Structure 1
């Protein structure tokens, strides 16, 4: 890219957490506009990733950056600083490579980078190295501070376990966990039912029927009037080591590993779990037995087979979890059909997913050859036969993977990685 030949540009801004010292998205974009105006460039698009960590998300996995790469007719991407694009050197180089492939370049307002010369590219890489070092330094300081708070028995922040609350530490600085008088009895009853052989679903139904208060959420619920418990929430309660007075602590766990190890807890110098008796509602031995019981039930329904709801086999062993690389199972959640990962437990609703896949299959592959006919004709012949429809889908499908995303009532197509088989070309 020659900066003198740039005529059209797009702006990109990213921010992980809004803090007083942070450069806001609005300020980053405004700086980019002034930079472009000073050079006589036309801004043809603005793309944002707000609340997105550069350490936990590669540029190609971000919605804003992916939308930028899908845009047309721009010669340069203007960012505020190199670390707004990437905090890792490899991520920066891959992002720059994607721009080079479309003959576009990268420009930073605050960093004097010039990607048109070997010296300029080397300097840009150095800036990316310093950005990565800074990010690692921040992470190290956060880990050290967290370890210090945990050692002192103080609450380190984050989600407060159900049945407990955060209160001022009367014996020193900071805050500590204490039992919540209103909810601890519901937690104790849920544990008792599980110890007596109650399934996770049965406990969720019981809590709903009894009107047990739901866990407090930092974000408002999509449907405030929905007071139903779900099995995922109940299982999280039953697997929390705080039940035995232990403090969860696994700083090495990957972010994608949603299902935490219940025995990854703070331990003393001899390797024994540190237990706060004032928080425990069961003994350590009872907690171990409870986890064994839960582990023997690998089905999310965990009901008698005669009581289970039947689900459509249309996507049976079709979709893969993008994090765990295993097939998603079919099941139900609050009586709605879902796909779920048996490892990380991410879920995706089936109703909108099935309609979305069907629509794309017929629209994009309807005229393709399929079993001596066309996809659209074979689909019509399949009628309500789910296995026949599945066969039509599989004849065209190459890849279907599901990424982790926000779980809710709204279908997010960006969670899907969908790729059809190569189009067949008639011979001759």
Structure 2
């Protein structure tokens, strides 16, 4: 049995926001190393989850923690504090249970916990409870601060709606929203076209052809000298309640909910929407009509067949949304293949997801037996046939889910939750 001095350990660090210098990844790992050195423990590896929220991501869904659990030859995990591992009691208990199953214990440098005794385990759970309470208190303070800003008529921050800009508050501190003289005429034209019955796709094509200025901060893609707009951006502009002088406000909307409800707006004590007529482009009644028109043609199936882009069937009815538990649909965004959730509208680029899955299939399951040969051999024989490739993938796949996350230029593998079938369950 491994003695106290001979214990083998691994280090784990997590951080939600990289700029939090006081608890940086480097500082957490340094403290953990010193802890191990002081006790004569051998450090077998270091694992991190940088830029990952403990509130929004369970430990088992994080790449760093999952890789840690797949490592062998350790009997202790050193973390800086309990809240670096989890901010929810249930997440903490499940992570601890996963370590117990492999005979490993959890050690926190700043929180004196001993998971080997009932008293120590009880104290650790109490710390996790306090961490969860702290996270909820932070959310409550943010919601209260935003509500007060809106009550004062000030701009609460976030993405500035198209056709508007922020300006210094003439009546006190902070900022207020005002109309953007450059983009406001374009906004009025877009809204007029939508109310007259033109589709979002037609309006998008018109804005690209006319060279309409993109929202502030957008990266313009130049094609034949024209500025390229996309359907999602135009649809979002037309669904913003600021068009009727109202302020979006839905603090209770979960991340798994469908796109922001255009009628979830800031209201007075009587429950009536607070309207700033100086910002309104249309009336509240016209805004309601506009939303009905948009909802009538909000899905790709409502488009003309000539406007649809053919997509690969490789992942047809294979990938599920981790939040909505529905299959992701195939579609395109600016002529690039994507998967999207029909409920919450999250998207995932196929140009990066497909190669990621193929690489993992070959690397992690390529040598598994299949049909008298191996998975890799069958894959090579399938060539470029997406239908054949799909069948091979399904023989190995237990589940494939995509969780919501930040969509940007770079592929985020943390969003892909992949589980292979146990070898005993594969029909060879």
Give a deviation string over 1:224-263, Cα, whole Å, max 9, x none: 7685222222211111111111111111110233611111
* C-alpha distance in 1 between matches for 2:424 and 2:81: 46
1:249-328 → structure 2 map (5 Å cutoff): 249-257=249-257, 259-300=259-300, 302-328=302-328
Change (3 A) 1:241 1:2: farther
Give a deviation string over 1:32-63, Cα, whole Å, max 9, x none: 22222222223332223333332222222223
* C-alpha distance in 1 between matches for 2:359 and 2:26: 38
1:354-365 → structure 2 map (5 Å cutoff): 354-358=354-358, 364=365
Contact residue 164 and residue 183 of structure 2 kept, 8 A? yes
Change (3 A) 1:193 1:319: same
| Aligned twin of 1:12 | 12
| Aligned twin of 2:166 | 166
Q: Give the alignment's TM-score, normalised by structure 2.
A: 0.87
Structure 1 gap ranges (5+): none
* C-alpha distance in 1 between matches for 2:327 and 2:407: 19
Q: CA deviation at 1:410?
A: 4.3
* C-alpha distance in 2 between matches for 1:362 and 1:26: 34
| Aligned twin of 1:154 | 154
1:219-230 → structure 2 map (5 Å cutoff): 227-230=227-230
What do you get for the CA RMSD once the two structures are aligned? Answer: 3.1
What SS does the aligned partner of 1:125 have? helix
| Aligned twin of 1:36 | 36
Contact residue 369 and residue 424 of structure 1 kept, 8 A? no
* C-alpha distance in 2 between matches for 1:106 and 1:395: 37
Change (3 A) 1:194 1:83: same
Change (3 A) 1:328 1:106: same
Q: CA deviation at 1:74?
A: 2.5
| Aligned twin of 1:63 | 63
Give a deviation string over 1:248-299, Cα, whole Å, max 9, x none: 1111110233611111111123322111111111111111111111111232
What SS does the aligned partner of 1:264 have? coil
* C-alpha distance in 2 between matches for 1:388 and 1:8: 46
Change (3 A) 1:125 1:385: closer
Aligned pair count reads 423
| Aligned twin of 1:90 | 90
Change (3 A) 1:238 1:84: same
* C-alpha distance in 2 between matches for 1:64 and 1:205: 43
Establish whether residue 404 from structure 1 lines up as the match of residue 385 from structure 2.
no
Contact residue 231 and residue 300 of structure 1 kept, 8 A? no
Contact residue 221 and residue 228 of structure 2 kept, 8 A? no
Contact residue 297 and residue 303 of structure 2 kept, 8 A? no
Q: CA deviation at 1:122?
A: 1.1
| Aligned twin of 1:185 | 185
Which stretch has the larger CA shift, 94-103 or 378-387? 378-387
Change (3 A) 1:118 1:229: same
Contact residue 201 and residue 301 of structure 1 kept, 8 A? no
Q: CA deviation at 1:404?
A: 2.2
What SS does the aligned partner of 2:147 have? helix
Establish whether residue 340 from structure 1 lines up as the match of residue 340 from structure 2.
yes
Q: CA deviation at 1:113?
A: 0.8
Change (3 A) 1:188 1:177: same
Give a deviation string over 1:372-410, Cα, whole Å, max 9, x none: 997677767766654455445445443222222343454
Q: CA deviation at 1:179?
A: 1.3
Give a deviation string over 1:108-137, Cα, whole Å, max 9, x none: 111111111111111111122222222222
| Aligned twin of 2:237 | 237
* C-alpha distance in 2 between matches for 1:398 and 1:350: 20
| Aligned twin of 2:417 | 417
Structure 2 gap ranges (5+): none
Change (3 A) 1:400 1:13: closer
Give a deviation string over 1:143-165, Cα, whole Å, max 9, x none: 22221111111111222222222
Change (3 A) 1:397 1:119: closer
| Aligned twin of 2:49 | 49
Q: CA deviation at 1:23?
A: 2.6
| Aligned twin of 2:214 | 214
